[in-house]
């Protein structure tokens, strides 16, 4: 059981909730692969073949090796930490979209907001860290170290929040206060990991926290592809254009992918291979984290050029 991922552990919260979780989780992971099919990015992918194609192979080999050598706890702890950073960074990215759309390009505010979001999210994620399954059975000395880490994260979070408040106060003082949508999203991003404060276990809190994250990610991927398909770009793959242009087809695709994951889980569990399925989902999640960091690396001018217009107001005007 120690190798089962958070996706499977969602069933411990509520069986019906677990089914909905599966329907969103697997399509969310698969949607990352759609960016491999943007024709104008093929040159970039081949120029960085080691990163885009070699990296996933290395991750797969590492996961298999750790599982086979009886060290699944390392994989699961890595999953927990990387998942926390991945979700926090996604919220930082979405907040940047709000910031740019409001005409604010202040890099100091961006850094302050990102630091506050990431620090607070990690603090909350460590709130009930003692209940994380791979850490069960650890001695009192290790548990005290985890509590010390949580205290340090709390101090860092408070400091970054105070710094962000100071930056936003200066922004307001010059007559450029945050509008309601941006302010509400900032509040949501900072408190995104609140389930860890009230859920009994880390695993159940992760499952609850990930639901809105999945919806966010699927929504953004759909939005980009829909605006892109309406822009008339010839390189846009026909299959992606077809799925993006039709809401019924999109929902059917999500349902089909999620149902396939549920069916695979049921079949493998009844065949006595539940751990195999769990390990497979863990691998997919880690690959998703890695590839997401490549496809959404807005520090890369090529990424800003190919994806940026579909996330800003200019894309709305062009598609109208």
Closest CA relative to residue 123, chosen from 92, 160, 168, 95: 160
CB atoms within 10 A of CB 232: 9
Give the length of the chain: 320
Mean of pLDDT values over 286-304: 88
Q: What is the pLDDT of residue 309?
A: 79
Mean residue pLDDT of the chain comes to: 85
Name the residue with higher pLDDT: 273 or 165. 165
Q: What is the pLDDT of residue 262?
A: 85
Q: What is the pLDDT of residue 16?
A: 57
pLDDT of 156 over the 90 cut = yes
Q: What is the pLDDT of residue 191?
A: 95
DSSP single-letter state for residue 53: I
For the chain, the helix, strand and coil percentages under 3-state DSSP, each to the nearest 5: 80, 0, 20
The phi-psi region of residue 19 (left if phi > 0; otherwise alpha if psi is between -120 and 50; otherwise beta) is alpha
User: pLDDT tens-digit profile of 33-43?
Assistant: 988 888 778 88
Q: CA-to-CA distance for 167 and 113, rounded, in angstroms?
A: 9
User: pLDDT tens-digit profile of 93-123?
Assistant: 999 988 888 888 888 999 999 999 999 999 9
Mean of pLDDT values over 180-187: 92
Q: What is the pLDDT of residue 1?
A: 34
- pLDDT band at residue 302, thresholds of 50, 70 and 90? confident
Degrees, nearest 5: CA angle 304-310-314: 100
- DSSP-derived secondary structure for 190-236: HTTTTHHHHSSSHHHHHHHHHHHHHHHHHHHHHHHHHHHHHTT-TTS
- pLDDT band at residue 246, thresholds of 50, 70 and 90? confident
Name the residue with higher pLDDT: 265 or 166. 166
Q: What is the pLDDT of residue 14?
A: 53
User: What is the percentage of the chain residues whose pLDDT exceeds 70?
Assistant: 90
| Full-model pTM | 0.86
Closest CA relative to residue 209, chosen from 2, 24, 74, 3: 24
- pLDDT band at residue 53, thresholds of 50, 70 and 90? very high
Q: What is the pLDDT of residue 166?
A: 96
pLDDT of 234 over the 70 cut = no
Name the residue with higher pLDDT: 131 or 229. 131
């Amino acid at each position: 059981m120690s190798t089962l991922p958070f996706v499977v552990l969602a069933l411990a919260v509520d069986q019906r909730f677990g089914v909905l979780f599966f329907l969103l989780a697997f399509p969310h992971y698969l949607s990352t692969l759609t960016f491999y099919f943007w024709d104008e990015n093929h040159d970039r992918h081949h120029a960085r073949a080691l990163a885009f194609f070699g990296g996933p192979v290395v991750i797969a080999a590492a996961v298999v090796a750790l599982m086979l050598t009886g060290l699944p706890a390392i994989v699961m702890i890595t999953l927990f930490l990387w998942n926390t950073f991945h979700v926090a960074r996604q919220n930082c990215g979405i907040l940047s979209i709000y910031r740019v759309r409001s005409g604010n390009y202040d890099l100091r505010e961006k850094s302050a907001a990102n630091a506050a979001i990431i620090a607070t999210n990690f603090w909350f994620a460590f709130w009930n860290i003692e209940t994380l399954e791979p850490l069960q059975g650890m001695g009192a000395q290790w548990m005290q170290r985890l509590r010390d880490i949580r205290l340090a994260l709390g101090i860092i979070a408070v400091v970054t929040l105070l710094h962000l408040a100071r930056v936003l106060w200066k922004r307001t003082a010059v007559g450029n206060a945050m509008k309601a949508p941006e302010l509400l999203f900032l509040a949501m991003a900072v408190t995104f990991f609140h389930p860890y404060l009230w859920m009994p276990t880390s695993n159940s809190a992760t499952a609850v926290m990930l639901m809105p994250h999945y919806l966010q990610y699927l929504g953004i991927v759909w939005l980009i592809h829909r605006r892109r398909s309406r822009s008339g770009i010839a390189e846009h793959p026909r299959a992606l254009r077809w799925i993006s242009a039709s809401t019924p087809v999109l929902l059917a695709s999500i349902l089909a992918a999620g149902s396939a994951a549920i069916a695979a889980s049921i079949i493998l569990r009844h065949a006595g291979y539940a751990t195999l399925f769990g390990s497979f989902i863990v691998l997919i999640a880690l690959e998703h984290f890695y590839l997401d960091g490549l496809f959404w690396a807005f520090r890369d001018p090529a990424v800003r050029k190919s994806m940026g217009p579909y996330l800003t107001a200019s894309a709305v005007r062009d598609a109208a």
